Amino acid sequence: MQKILVFLIAAMLFTIYFLPDSFASISIKKSDEIRCTTIHSKFLKMGEDEFRKRYPSYPIMDKCMMLYGDPDFIKKHTSITNTFSTSTILSDAKILSTLKIGHDKFLIKFNMCYDENKKTKHILIITDKEQVVGKDYRLHKEACPSSWIMVKAYDPLKTQFSWDYEHKSYPKIERKML
């Protein structure tokens, strides 16, 4: 009888201690959130790999990484989302094909025509889940080049594209196009 009682108490303590964190959206103390917010700009400039190398023993690194991946945190604390407005999005891009490569991850082949006398290597891509700048390492000679890019989206067919002629460097959201 005592063994059963000890087992039940241990099971209750286990569920109280471990399970709330696994089911919670991101629970973090306000002071830790403020600390993560202050170093968020460094994270955007460096990118995740270099940031982890630079701050390997930062006490709340795991919590900050979870926050930086949270869409609500990104909307609240990133000026990038305010920089790109949907009024600058052009609708002349055509999605040629989509290939699902993971949970909410798609490889999209699209084709988009240059504006008259303007060419750039950067394309602003907005999905229902993220905003990225596609970076091509070559200027295409044809007027309407096709490219592939990996995006995170719930519905990839609602992806919007626009040439980014006045490109500013955002290393965290730049992604290579093929």
Q: Indicate whether 40 and 73 sit together in one domain.
A: yes
The answer to whether residues 31 and 95 belong to one domain is no
Do 94 and 65 share a structural domain?
A: no
pLDDT given at position 68 = 81
Identify the domain boundary among 26, 55, 78. Answer: 78
**Three-class DSSP category at 124:** strand
Pairing relation of β-strands 131-135 and 174-176?
parallel
- Given 49, 78, 107, the domain boundary residue is 78
Who's near 46: CB < 8 A, 6+ residues apart? 54, 171
- Pair 58, 21 in one domain: yes
- Residue 171's pLDDT is 60
Query: Does 54 share its domain with 96?
Result: no
pTM above 0.85, yes or no: no
Q: Could you tell me if 15 and 91 lie in one domain?
A: no
The pLDDT assigned to 116 comes to 64
Q: Which domain holds residue 30?
A: 2-78
CB 177 within 8 A of CB 147: yes
Q: Which residues contact 145 (CB under 8 A, 6 or more apart)?
A: 111, 112, 114, 136
Q: Per-residue confidence of the chain (178 residues) as pLDDT tens digits?
A: 788 878 878 777 766 665 444 444 567 788 888 888 888 878 877 778 888 888 877 788 888 888 888 877 777 765 544 445 444 555 577 888 898 888 888 898 888 877 766 677 778 888 888 888 887 777 667 777 788 888 888 888 888 888 776 666 666 666 666 5
Instruction: Provide the pLDDT for residue 173.
Output: 64
What lies within 8 Å, CB to CB, of 10 at 6+ separation is: none
| Residues 158 and 103 reside in one and the same domain | yes
Burial class (CB in 10 A: 0-12, 13-18, 19+), 106: buried
Task: Among 78, 100, 132, give the residue marking a domain's end.
Answer: 78
Whole-number pLDDT of residue 91 = 53
Residues 117 and 151 in one domain: yes
Q: Are residues 155 and 99 in the same domain?
A: yes
- The number of folded domains in the chain is 2
Residue 20 confidence (pLDDT):
46
Please tell me the distance from the alpha carbon of residue 79 to that of residue 75, in angstroms, as a whole number: 8
Q: Are residues 55 and 114 in the same domain?
A: no
- Laid out side by side, the sheet with 105-111 consists of 94-102, 105-111, 146-152
- pLDDT at 18 (0 to 100): 57
146 neighbors 111 (Cβ within 8 angstroms): yes
Clarify whether residues 8 and 52 are in a common domain.
yes
Write out the DSSP string of 141-162. Answer: SSSS-EEEEEEE-S-GGG-EEE
Residues 34 and 116 in one domain: no
Phi and psi dihedrals of 41, rounded to 5? -65, -35
